[in-house]
Amino acid sequence: MKINLAVLAGDGIGPEIITQALETVKAVCSKYSHTLQFEYAPVGAAAIDACGNPYPDATHELCMNSDAVLFGAIGSPRYDNDPTAKVRPEQGLLAMRQKLGLYANIRPVTTFAELLHRSPLRRDLVENADFICIRELTGGIYFGRPQGRAEDGNTAYDTCVYTKTEIERIVRLAYQYAQKRRKSLTIVDKANVLATSRLWRQVAQEIEKEYPEVKTEYMFVDNAAMQIIQNPKRFDVLVTENMFGDILTDEASVITGSLGMLPSASIGIHTSVFEPIHGSYPQAAGKDIANPVATILSAALMFEYAFGLNAEANDIRNAVYQSLKAGIVTEDIVTDGKAYKTSEVGKWIAQQI
Q: Which residues are catalytic?
A: 142, 190, 222, 246, 250
Helix (H, G, I), strand (E, B) or coil at 333: coil
**How far is residue 101's CA from residue 107's CA, in Å, rounded to a whole number?**
17
Round to whole Å and give the CA distance between 18 and 107.
Answer: 18
Buried b (16+ CB within 10 A) or exposed e, 266-291: bbbeebbbbbbbbbbbbebbeeebbb
CA distances from 25 to 18, 136, 293, 324 (A): 10, 28, 13, 19
- Spatial contact of 266 and 138, defined as CB atoms under 8 Å apart: no
Which of these, 272, 351, 261, 339, lies nearest to 305 by C-alpha position? Answer: 272
Do the Cβ atoms of 211 and 261 come closer than 8 Å? no
CA 332, 272, 4 angle in degrees (round to 5)? 95
DSSP state of 143: T
Q: Which residues contact 16 (CB under 8 A, 6 or more apart)?
A: 285, 286, 288, 290, 292, 342, 343
What distance in Å separates the CA atoms of residue 197 and residue 161, rounded to the nearest whole number?
10
